Each structure stands twice: as structure tokens, then as C-alpha cells.
Amino acid sequence: MKPNHDEFGVGPTQDLSLRVSVATLVRVLFENPRDGEWMLALERKATLHETKVEVKSQPFGGAIRIRDLDALHDLIGDFHFDSERSRSEQDFRLFIRPSNWSAVREFCIEHLRRVDDPILETDPTRELVEEFDDALKINLKPEQYVSKPIATVVENDPAPTENIHAMGIPTVRVYRIFEAIIWDASLIDTMLRNSEGLSHRDLSELALKDAQNRGKGRANTILALPLKQISDHYRALSSKEHTALMIFEQNLLDDTVSAILEGIPLPKYQRT
């Protein structure tokens, strides 16, 4: 008998103890019209944690949605979502039996390679549109950029998550990596002005206002960095430092930034 989607559970159990997160990461690039240099655009996020605001930049992207829950259930049996939000949106943020991880990993790799897969979402468009709306308050249009898949990256060793719905829970991960090149001149100008126009302090104050007005404590903008400079910086580091939080020109960068750059050894990730 096929499961009723409304009856999928939420949260870990004694058996369903391994959290799995499957997401897109997008290397967003554009050419700086001032000097012709290629720029890497990251999502710069200010988040209020109790009384302190953290400002951190990370690749665009987010959780992949499961289009057909029955297909996964047929493969591994019962699983739970990590939160009510993940369940309502069918995000691939799940608790599974640890013994099922190998099967789930191969399932994801197989389906993520397909175009318009009926089982898993395999396109970064939805997340890009949502995050450009958050950061720039604009509606990103298909004619403003081109995108293509680059690789799939797997993190086999569980590491604590910073997701607010499952904070600190050890998680294994699968990332589908894309490259998106922005061609639209007006959008590029908006991105540059946005990156240069808001300081960390400005963004922190917006997050504090958001906490007062909406009770969330978040604010988003864009950080544009010269691609060659940031790539050279990572290449000069040891391989252990590639997958850790890093400061670059006073900007705190998420450990996933290295995963979207070319030619950077990644000791904790397996590329497929």
C-alpha cells in the first residue's frame, strides 16, 4: 500500500537517526563592466542568534524537492522529514536509517544527473528566483542568465548542520553544483551596487529590524568578489582549510564556497 504523504513523520527516532540533506549549490558569475574581471556572486546573510547577529556569505542554492515521495519510500521504507516545513514543501531534508545511506546516496546521484527528472527536482531555477528576490527584491528572468550542471558532490561523514530546524544534528549531504552566468547588464549593475552599498553593520541593523517587525531576525544581500582572487586565496591554503569557515577581506565565507570553485582539493567531499 502506498503511503499517505500527510502521514510521513517529522524528526528523528531510534531507527531513523541519520539526517540527509540534498541541495543545489550555484556558482553565480558575471563580468564586471568596469574592468572585464569575472566576479563570483554569493548570498550574504545576516542572521540574529539570540543577541548576536552573524553575517556570512554562501553560494546561492537550497534544498532539492522530492517530486515523488513514493519512489523513495519504495526504495528504503519509512523515513521522516526533519521539520514540518520540510514536510510541507517536500524538501529533501530527511531522517533515514543509517544502513540506508548508501542506497539513498546512489539514488540521488542517479536522479540528479537527469534533466526534468520525475522523482527529484534537478534544476536550480526555483531557488535562484527565490533568493534573488530575497537579496535584491527583483524577479530573476530566464533571459537574464544561462545555467548548466557542473558536478555532484557527496559528503559521506556526518557533520553538524546549522539549519535552524535541525541545529547541530549530524548530517550527510549531497550537493548538485551548477554554474549560472548573468548576462543582463542592468541586473549586473544592480548586483554590483547592492554588494558595494551595504556594509556588514547596515545588514546587521536590517536583521535587528526584521526581528522587531517580523520576529525572524534575517536580512539578505549579495556579495560580489573577484573570482580569480578568491580562487587563488583558496589554492594558497592547506586542503584542511578548504572546507572550513574562512575570512576573506573581512567577509566570513561558508565552508561550501570551496565546493563551487574549480581546482580546489576537497578532502571531505567526493566528486562524482
For 216-238, the pLDDT digits (tens) are 899 999 999 999 999 999 888 87
Q: Can you give the residue range of the structural domain that contains 107?
A: 5-271
Q: Which helix (H) or strand (E) holds 153?
A: strand 145-160
All residue ranges of the chain with pLDDT < 70 are: 1-7, 241-244
Contact by Cβ (8 Å): 195, 157:
no
pLDDT at 272: 80
pLDDT digits (tens, 9 = 90+) for 144-197: 999 999 999 999 999 888 877 778 889 999 999 999 999 999 999 999 999 998
- pLDDT at position 1, please? 42
Number of structural domains the chain divides into: 1
Mean per-residue pLDDT over the chain, rounded: 91
Q: pTM score, two decimals?
A: 0.91
Give the per-residue pLDDT at 99: 97
pLDDT at 168: 83
Region of residue 228 (phi > 0: left; psi between -120 and 50: alpha; otherwise: beta): alpha
List 146's β-bridge partners, or say none: 181
Residue 104: the pLDDT is 98
The answer to whether 88 and 165 have CB atoms below 8 angstroms apart is no
- The Cα 260–Cα 264 span in angstroms is 9
DSSP track, 76-120: H---EESSHHHHHHTBSEEEE-GGGHHHHHHHHHHHHTSTT-SSB
Q: Are strands 93-96 and 80-81 parallel, antiparallel or unpaired?
A: antiparallel
Question: What's the confidence (pLDDT) of residue 12?
Answer: 93
d(CA 249, CA 116) in angstroms, rounded, equals 39
Q: What is the pLDDT of residue 160?
A: 85
Cβ neighbours around 64 below 10 Å, total? 27
Q: How far apart, in whole angstroms, are the C-alpha atoms of residue 253 and residue 244?
A: 9
Nearest Cα residue to 104 out of 122, 113, 121, 92? 92
Name residues whose C-beta falls within 8 Å of residue 215's C-beta, 6 or more positions apart in sequence. none
CA distance 81 to 104: 14
179, 40 in Cβ contact below 8 A? no
